[in-house]
Amino acid sequence: MTTLIWFRRDLRLADNPALDAAALDAAARDAAVIPVYVHADEREDGWPPGAASRWWLHHSLAALAADLDRLGSRLTLRAAGAADDALLALARETGATRVVWNRRFEPAAAARDRRIEAALRAAGVATETFNASLLHEPEAIANQAGRPFQVFTPFWRNCLARPDPAEPLDAPRHLPPPARWPRSVSLDELALRPTRRWDAGLEENWRPGSRGATDRLAAFVREAFGQYAAERDRPDRTGTSRLSPHLHFGEIGPRQIWHAVRTFATPRRLRWRESQFLAEIGWREFAHHLLHHFPQTPTEPLRPAFADFPWRTDPAGYAAWRRGRTGYPIVDAGMRELWHTGWMHNRVRMIVGSFLVKDLLLPWTDGAAWFWDTLVDADLAANTLGWQWVAGCGADAAPYFRIFNPTSQGQRFDPEGAYVRRYLPELARVPAEWIHEPWKAPAAVLHEARVTLGVDYPRPIVDHAAARGRALIALASITPPARPRG
């Protein structure tokens, strides 16, 4: 008897409830376990992974395969037009009587999973699914009226009032192999890595896989957790966990993070349950809660009035924003960090997002599309929440009239200009006094810094004060909806 464990966004061995169930069942029935990853038609998910996500997926699958090999098992890879066809074929080939997997909560993926479950059961194959990616099922949290939350604070208060998540599961020590392994394509045949090697910066900055994830978590709780509230908005410092891509691909789960923080904080009597860091895990939960209940939001504003917003068309401005050539150093540094590393500091994400949708008046969906292709942590729920937040058109959004000033934001959160200099080497010699507004620097200062505006570094493509006024006029042309109440 054989059980298939279908891996997706749960590329880890520890705290993997589907894998744990497969291992326990195999031990009880003297059965085999076959780990499977199906690279199906990407249209099945509705949102095919972007280039940076595909790079990460390649390396994460390689790491998972190595971890399984150490258990005496192996990862079977299949490339198929549809996941249900691949799983049914594997069940026939191997004689599998059971398929287990961890649920996904994106609307298109969840609908596909229901179809797959029905197809397998119709073929006489038992199925069982689990929750490995969230602390709570999206439908389990509701306000007093039984409706979904649309404001974060009461949502997270509701979550914190519940019992602590269960302790993380240990990784199995052994997975019994089948008498004969099914055929498998090679990882390279999935063609996930770029043909033109633009990924050197990703290679330098990341170590995909569960070991990279647990090492990063351990380093964070040891070195930065205690100062997180004070340091998290400083892109010039190492104050954040950088766990988001590991969480997205399921190389680590939120229960593991929850209990690692508790273990670290409890002996020190830190108020860990109220920590800003755990609240960020809460925002991730909130993003999936919203996407589950409002599945249209990746392409449509949650607040209907914003459907009539008078967005501009500006291909040159959009290109300058993508390339990090807007003339505003904190914006350009963020966009170049994104291109080089596949990641961007969260404070800077808000700044560059505000610049796109308010200074340039370009649609938030354009920004979401660029982030989707270039972020290694591109997550549909988080990406949607973040862009609707900054555009003012979503749940718990920033007030529609909040427009970040890129100069003052840079001066406040990168006061010495270390972050800007890291990603804009052409401004490396500009003194801190002028680093965030080089167009105001005296000619002698720019000459000494070897900067010629318009040549080495662009002048601002838009005047922020004028752009702010234009944005407020545009925003006044629609009727901003009232803020939701929970």
Instruction: For CATH 1.10.579.10, list the domain ranges present in the chain.
Output: 304-476
Q: What is the pLDDT of residues 422-437, one digit of tens each?
A: 999 999 999 999 999 9
Three-point CA angle 86, 90, 91, nearest 5°? 120
Residue 16's alpha-carbon distances to 208, 239, 250, 292, in angstroms, are: 17, 28, 9, 22
Residue 381: the pLDDT is 97
Does position 41 have pLDDT exceeding 80, yes or no? no
Residue 29: the pLDDT is 85
Does position 186 have pLDDT exceeding 80, yes or no? yes
Q: What is the signed CA dihedral for 13, 16, 21, 24, rounded to 10 degrees?
A: 40
Q: In which band, very low, low, confident or very high, does the pLDDT at 80 lie, cut at 50, 70 and 90?
A: confident
Between CA 267 and CA 439 the distance in angstroms is 51
Residue 1: the pLDDT is 83
Phi, psi of 7, deg, nearest 5: -85, 145
Global pTM exceeds 0.85: yes
Does position 71 have pLDDT exceeding 90, yes or no? yes
Residue 268: the pLDDT is 87
Q: In which band, very low, low, confident or very high, does the pLDDT at 399 lie, cut at 50, 70 and 90?
A: low
Residue 42: the pLDDT is 61
Does position 43 have pLDDT exceeding 70, yes or no? no
Q: In which band, very low, low, confident or very high, does the pLDDT at 485 lie, cut at 50, 70 and 90?
A: very low
Active-site residue, from 56, 321, 343, 387: 387
Active-site residue, from 128, 231, 280, 426: 280
Residue 397: the pLDDT is 65
Between CA 344 and CA 346 the distance in angstroms is 6
311 is catalytic: yes
Instruction: For CATH 1.25.40.80, list the domain ranges present in the chain.
Output: 134-166+209-293
Between CA 95 and CA 1 the distance in angstroms is 7
Residue 44: the pLDDT is 65
Residue given tokens 């909560």 in the structure block: 105
Active-site residue, from 283, 300, 339, 405: 283
Q: What is the mean pLDDT of residues 48-60?
A: 96
Q: What DSSP string describes 58-87? A: HHHHHHHHHHHHHTT---EEEE-S-HHHHH
Instruction: For CATH 3.40.50.620, list the domain ranges present in the chain.
Output: 2-132
283 is catalytic: yes
Between CA 204 and CA 182 the distance in angstroms is 35
Task: Check if the beta carbon of residue 251 is closer than 8 Å to that of residue 257.
Answer: no
Task: Check if the beta carbon of residue 74 is closer than 8 Å to that of residue 98.
Answer: no
Residue 480: the pLDDT is 56
346 is catalytic: yes
Does position 47 have pLDDT exceeding 90, yes or no? no
Active-site residue, from 6, 206, 321, 364: 364
Does position 72 have pLDDT exceeding 90, yes or no? yes
Mean residue pLDDT of the chain comes to 94
Q: What is the mean pLDDT of residues 151-169?
A: 95
Active-site residue, from 311, 405, 426, 439: 311
Active-site residue, from 346, 405, 426, 439: 346
CA 24, 27, 32, 35 dihedral sign is positive
Joined together, the tokens standing for residue 22 give 């497969």
Q: What is the mean pLDDT of residues 150-160?
A: 95
Task: Check if the beta carbon of residue 256 is closer than 8 Å to that of residue 14.
Answer: yes
Classified as helix, coil or strand, 126 is strand
Does position 483 have pLDDT exceeding 60, yes or no? no
Query: Looking at domain 134-166+209-293, which of 1.10.10.10, 3.30.930.10, 1.25.40.80, 1.10.10.60 is its CATH number?
Result: 1.25.40.80
Query: Looking at domain 304-476, which of 2.60.40.10, 1.10.579.10, 3.40.250.10, 3.40.50.800 is its CATH number?
Result: 1.10.579.10
Between CA 97 and CA 4 the distance in angstroms is 8
Q: What is the pLDDT of residues 346-355, one digit of tens each?
A: 999 999 999 9
Task: Check if the beta carbon of residue 281 is closer than 8 Å to that of residue 135.
Answer: yes
Does position 484 have pLDDT exceeding 50, yes or no? no
Classified as helix, coil or strand, 6 is strand
Residue 164: the pLDDT is 93
Task: Identify which of 194, 291, 236, 251 has the alpha carbon closest to the alpha carbon of residue 377.
Answer: 251
Question: Is 403 exposed, middle or buried (CB count within 10 Å of its CB: 0-12, 13-18, 19+)?
Answer: buried
Provide long-range contacts, Cβ within 8 A and 24+ apart, for 352-355. 352/321, 353/386, 353/387, 353/390, 353/391, 354/390, 354/402, 354/403, 354/404, 354/406, 355/321, 355/326, 355/328, 355/331, 355/404, 355/406
CATH superfamily entry for domain 2-132? HUPs (3.40.50.620)
